[in-house]
Amino acid sequence: MALRPHWKGYLKLSLVTCPVQMMPATSENEKVRFHTLNRQTQNRVVSHYVDAVTGKEVNDEDEVKGYQTGEHDYLILEDEELENVALESTKTIDIEVFTPRDSVDWIWLDTPYYLSPDDPVGQEAFSVIRDAMAAENMVGISRLVISRRERAVMLEPRGKGIVLWTLRYGDEVRDPQPYFERIDDETADNELMPLVQQLIKKQTQHWNPKMASDPVQNRLLDIIEAKKKLMKAPARTKAKGKNKEEPAPNNVINIMDALRKSVEAENRSGRH
């Protein structure tokens, strides 16, 4: 079954325009999700907005956005006012500027999407824009309205397509200096470095998506499957399991000894 595009519109560079579609590059559809139930009836629990003072339920038509100006003071903003500050064109990615790819630090990248041609007629224009950026090692910067929010976006050529990254807002990125300023300026010990480098080489592997697997997700699926079997099977006496706690690691006082032991252990294991 073909996935439905998240967004459809046009990619534009000067006088070159082509129809494109955008799909999320990541998905959480396979994640285990829970509903909140009433334990007594096992019916789903639904939430309602209530007035914080009167305790009465608020109808949908009476819900409105408010900006707090004081402890109990708010400025009310209507939906029409919020929509008027959005980007006028929500259907065109107009590339405004190009910048070297390595000049955009990782921390600015937010959510990735796959951008591809939406019509065979526009594939040539799409390919020209993509290949020209790749040849110059450049990325395009533009703006786009996604889910009613205007976002700065970065277009990065990737294989036959383009990856569109939404960029974080400027006030979302923190300056690292206050967090790193207490770290000493001293360089690494010349005797320690070779040991660490040896460990790195021993433990180096090619990237595999399994390295980023979610163990909690797998355990939840095991629990759910076990409960399903219990519901289908006749009543049985449940075995009492004991929680196994991993022992707390001892404090390592001598880093040189610890590194040497690690390297020796790696050599004994014969790992490559």
CATH number of 7-27+86-167: 2.40.290.10
pLDDT of residue 81: 77
pLDDT of residue 117: 95
User: Above pLDDT 90, what percent of the chain?
Assistant: 39
Residue with tokens 């997700």: 217
What is the pLDDT averaged over residues 214-223? 81
Residues 102-134 pLDDT 10s: 999 999 999 999 999 998 888 999 999 999 999
What is the pLDDT averaged over residues 4-15? 89
Domain definitions of the chain by residue range: 7-27+86-167
| Mean of all residue pLDDT scores within the chain | 84
Query: Is pLDDT larger for residue 84 or for residue 207?
Result: 207
Q: Does residue 50 have a pLDDT over 90? A: yes
- The number of CA neighbours under 13 Å toward the Cβ of 21 is 9
Lowest mean pLDDT among 34-38, 74-78, 136-140, 264-268: 264-268
Residues 12-40 pLDDT 10s: 998 889 999 999 999 877 788 888 999 99
What is the pLDDT averaged over residues 223-241? 69
Sign for the CA dihedral angle at 212, 215, 220, 221 comes to positive
Q: Which residues pair with 112 in a beta bridge?
A: 165
pLDDT of residue 248: 52
Residue with tokens 């959510």: 111
What is the pLDDT averaged over residues 193-214? 87
pLDDT of residue 170: 87
Q: Which residues pair with 50 in a beta bridge?
A: 57
What is the per-residue DSSP string for the chain? -PPPPSEEEEEEETTEEEEEEEEES---TTS-----B-TTT-PBP----B-TTT-PBPPGGG--EEEE-SSS-EEEE-HHHHHHTS-S-SSEEE--EEEEGGGS-GGGEEEEEEEEESSGGGHHHHHHHHHHHHHHTEEEEEEEEETTEEEEEEEEEETTEEEEEEE--GGGSPPSHHHHTTS--PPPPTTHHHHHHHHHHHT-----GGGG--HHHHHHHHHHHHHHHHHHSPP-PPP-PPPP-PPPPPPP--HHHHHHHHHHHHHHHT--
Q: Does residue 142 have a pLDDT over 80? A: yes
